[in-house]
Amino acid sequence: MDSSHVEHDLVNVLFTEAQIHDRLGEMAQQISADYEGHDLLMVGVLRGAVMVMADLSRAMPGHLEMDWMAVTSYGSGTKSSGVVRILKDLDTDISGRHVLIVDEIIDTGLTLSWLVNNLSSRRPASVEIATLLRKPEALQMPVEPKYVGWDIPNEFVVGYGLDYKERYRNLRDIGTLAPHVYS
């Protein structure tokens, strides 16, 4: 879906599809160089990271493996509840593996902080985070991603996997959702 289809629902477009693809390509090159000679397992956080994971993995020049987890701390609202639940666990044994968690956004950090601790307890060789977006002003837990596409203001954003009540995920751009949509 193009942003022109929902232009009245958006305050502005932060990043276009082309900008997103360019940035993910840059991140893929950096990740590939950092993990050269290592067996990398990318773990996507469902559902929001689907677009990021797909495009980031396609931009990677070498082999990698993928698995998925579904965790939630949001429910259907716009703010994190702070309670993390696993909805789908990994199918892969990660002991001794280099794990790169791929997510679309770091907001409060509660979910990713919990996820890093959970995966670290499974004895991987390493656990790092790659995220397309980070909201530094919203952080409530210390989370140190190794790879960040962009830092953004503490606004409610949608598109490219980010949703509001399961809508806007298929928006090709990332934009700030207008308050009239969710108030």
The model's pLDDT over 36-76, given as tens digits with 9 standing for 90+, comes to 999 999 999 999 999 999 999 999 998 999 999 999 775 55
Kindly give the pairing relationship between strand 174-177 and strand 157-158: antiparallel
Known catalytic membership, residue 107: yes
- According to the model, what pLDDT value does residue 81 have? 56
- According to the model, what pLDDT value does residue 79 have? 57
Domains defined for the chain, CATH in brackets:
17-152 (3.40.50.2020)
- According to the model, what pLDDT value does residue 77 have? 53
C-alpha distances in angstroms, 108 versus 59, 65, 98, 132? 28, 28, 25, 15
pTM of structure? 0.92
Q: How does DSSP classify residue 84?
A: -
C-alpha distances in angstroms, 33 versus 58, 82, 171, 177? 15, 35, 30, 36
Q: Which of 115, 80, 121 is nearest to 100 (CA)?
A: 115
Which residues lie closer than 8 Å to 136 by C-beta, 6 or more apart?
Answer: 151
**Which of these is catalytic: 9, 107, 163, 173?**
107
The 3-state DSSP class for residue 162 equals strand
